[in-house]
Amino acid sequence: MEIIPMLLKEMDAEAVTTRKMLSIVPTDKFDWKPHPKSMSIRELAGHIAELPGWVTMALTTNGLDFAANPYQLPEVHNTEDILAEFEKSFASGRAHLEKATEADLLPDWTLRNGDTIYDVSSKAEVIRTAFCQMVHHRAQLGVFLRLLNIPIPGSYGPSADEMHLYDFESAFSQ
């Protein structure tokens, strides 16, 4: 079984849910955070938007050294900027993955900060981690939005805000 078609299918599916979530981020709440140690909504949504670009980074580099390349969030000023950043990073990541070969997924990729190594994984594992990070941070964003009383869309089924749209009793009684 080939890995790239499975990764592309997962990437496409997660993009649908991510677009729904990012599209409801309110610009007037960009600087809000639920706790002093939390990212702001702007930072969190910006990070989610850039994560598909980690597929490109995994396939075109041998690693990331924060000491040589300090992390910078994408600059976003409104919801449209977030969506544009997501579409840009998604298109890049997907295009690089489509062009990749199975052999391109095998080499190691290293995440470090100077001499401190955080992780060494195959490029395939780094791609899967990027997808997991997108889901993880998207869930965080869902909590942030819920705390602001903003109805959230479902990810893998209806959210609590959408339950009234479905008749589960009749669906399971047949």
* Residue 162: alpha-carbon gap to chain centroid: 22
47 labelled as ligand-binding? yes
Measured CA to CA, the distance from residue 58 to residue 131 in angstroms comes to 12
Distance, CA of 49 to CA of 77 (rounded, Å)? 13
Q: How far is CA 13 from the centre of its chain?
A: 12
- Return d(Cα 136, Cα 164) in angstroms, integer: 26
**Residue 21, amino acid:** M
Tokens found for residue 112: 């470090």
From the number of C-beta atoms within 10 Å of its C-beta (0-12, 13-18, 19+), residue 5 rates as: exposed
- State the first-to-last Cα distance of the chain, in angstroms, to the nearest integer: 36
164 is in an annotated binding site: no
Known binding-site residue numbers for a divalent metal cation: 47, 137
Known binding-site residue numbers: 47, 137
